[in-house]
Structure 1
């Protein structure tokens, strides 16, 4: 089996590589990366590392050539137009390279009425794939739980969760759990009969409930005092990401980031790790 993974040096991509490597021999894994030097540790394990430029369809085609399974993790661009252009190159390359099965990362903020800056891209993905002859699976992630860990000291200092969500709730999944699901789908053809899975923990959290979880795991009192969307965007505009983040929580305030499913259980045969258990384990690991 030849499994190709793109975006293999990113946060999710690296964990997908590690999970796939637990299921197949390293020599069966090919990685398409923008900077091969950053994947040296994978090359040393026997994986094939090839340069990949999402802007060049021929570059993608050469990496995907004759792949039994290809896992596409999008680049970290902040607008839908760039990602749709990139995705069109991936689709064309997958067709030319005769990819057996394409696995694509999605996100729950893909609704037609979602103001999130990237919702157009995530909504485009299933519609575009449905119009191809490719065999494919989309894995829609909930919000990653991981950023809550480095964010916790700031929330303790503020004594409050400040997400502008109002009464709405958020659902989460950890990077590790998402990666495990990607790898399991990649090596389990029986799971390919379902075109889309949504990876979440088995409950969502209102902001007071999230504040209580963070209080419990930290031993500090954390409440809920939301800022405005404008304030949030200005506060977290590092790398010009402020508007994108604020637009995501604008969708969240409409209840569009609260999706909960048991799809992770269907894939892995067990429930996803709960948010409190994840946070406790991560804080202990970093202590």
Structure 2
């Protein structure tokens, strides 16, 4: 039995979609904070169990009878260490045979501030003694695609990544990798550095937006604090704006680059090209 935490999130649902290609629905547990939001998963034959990172007792019941757990990192920045530790402790009590965790690319050496909570979670997993698979994911290309409407509206894509090369992949690529790890017969204790087959700068990303939209959208690089201020002025919460600005600086230092192609090897196909995600985002905006 395979448990997917955060199963109603965007990544969690895609992991389940990929698992269903080879795993019977009854052998998949959708572990969610609010079971009411997983009615469609239950209707598909999955087991839906409550699992709140802040309520350890729910994790024990969610993991009962399971052999593998995918810990999808919490989206509550600043609370991840405590929340993830609760999951690791519950997995240990349940004698899980494999715990997989969605970490960050090169988490042990990453210059991104986001890496700190991932590093500490990895330490907790290793200390647990459980067989593990660390899925060190680079950026989702969709993260940058979210900026396309604003870039078109303001005739510029802004950021703080300089000329840093970014090896991103689609969210579904990473979901396919998680499903592959959860269903293969390899023993635990593997670290996967997962990134797109090719890389690009944000100037090249902006050029692709320009090419497909037929509207000139240059990339404007900004100092970290100026970029953060621009995001806050656009309505983004200050803490999240700070994280994104710092991540841009980290990308400029190579923090989101990897050319090992471990992701495509794991999923058995090329990763999704950046231009396809740009096309998807433009089509979505057009309605």
Q: Same fold per TM (> 0.5)?
A: yes
Instruction: Please tell me the root mean square deviation across aligned C-alpha atoms, in Å.
Output: 2.0
Alpha-carbon distance in structure 2 between the residues aligned to 1:229 and 1:54: 32
Alpha-carbon distance in structure 2 between the residues aligned to 1:225 and 1:272: 27
The corresponding residue for 1:30 is 29
Alpha-carbon distance in structure 2 between the residues aligned to 1:182 and 1:168: 27
Alpha-carbon distance in structure 1 between the residues aligned to 2:166 and 2:278: 16
Closer/same/farther in 2, CA of residues 3 and 193 from structure 1, 3 Å limit:
closer
Q: Is the 8 A contact 1:217 1:280 kept in 2?
A: yes
The corresponding residue for 2:17 is 18
The C-alpha deviation readout for 1:58-107, integer Å capped at 9, x for no partner, is 2212211231211111221122xx11111111111111001111111011
Please say which of residues 195-204 and 273-282 is displaced more in the overlay.
273-282
Q: Is the 8 A contact 1:9 1:33 kept in 2?
A: yes
Q: Which runs of 5+ in 2 are unaligned?
A: none
Alpha-carbon distance in structure 2 between the residues aligned to 1:109 and 1:251: 12
Q: Is the 8 A contact 1:66 1:98 kept in 2?
A: no
Please say which of residues 7-16 and 229-238 is displaced more in the overlay.
229-238
Q: Is the 8 A contact 2:85 2:121 kept in 1?
A: no
Alpha-carbon distance in structure 2 between the residues aligned to 1:210 and 1:194: 35
Task: After TM superposition, list the pairs within 5 Å mapping 1:201-240 onto structure 2.
Answer: 201-237=196-232, 238-240=236-238
The corresponding residue for 1:164 is 160
Alpha-carbon distance in structure 2 between the residues aligned to 1:127 and 1:29: 27
CA offset at residue 212 of structure 1? 1.8
The C-alpha deviation readout for 1:213-264, integer Å capped at 9, x for no partner, is 2222222222221122112222324244111212222212222122232111
Alpha-carbon distance in structure 2 between the residues aligned to 1:224 and 1:247: 18
Structure 1 segments, 4+ long, off by >4 Å, are 284-287
Please say which of residues 30-39 and 126-135 is displaced more in the overlay.
126-135
Closer/same/farther in 2, CA of residues 115 and 137 from structure 1, 3 Å limit:
closer
Matched, 1:51 2:46: no
CA offset at residue 281 of structure 1? 4.5
Q: Is the 8 A contact 1:62 1:97 kept in 2?
A: no
Matched, 1:93 2:73: no
The corresponding residue for 2:269 is 270
Task: After TM superposition, list the pairs within 5 Å mapping 1:111-260 onto structure 2.
Answer: 111-112=108-109, 114-116=111-113, 118-190=114-186, 192=187, 195-237=190-232, 238-240=236-238, 241-260=240-259
CA offset at residue 111 of structure 1? 4.3
Alpha-carbon distance in structure 1 between the residues aligned to 2:248 and 2:280: 27
CA offset at residue 166 of structure 1? 1.8
Number of aligned residue pairs: give it: 282
The TM-score, its normalising length taken from structure 1, stands at 0.90
The TM-score, its normalising length taken from structure 2, stands at 0.90
Q: Which runs of 5+ in 1 are unaligned?
A: none
Closer/same/farther in 2, CA of residues 180 and 112 from structure 1, 3 Å limit:
closer
Alpha-carbon distance in structure 2 between the residues aligned to 1:149 and 1:31: 28
Alpha-carbon distance in structure 2 between the residues aligned to 1:146 and 1:207: 13
Q: Is the 8 A contact 1:109 1:122 kept in 2?
A: no
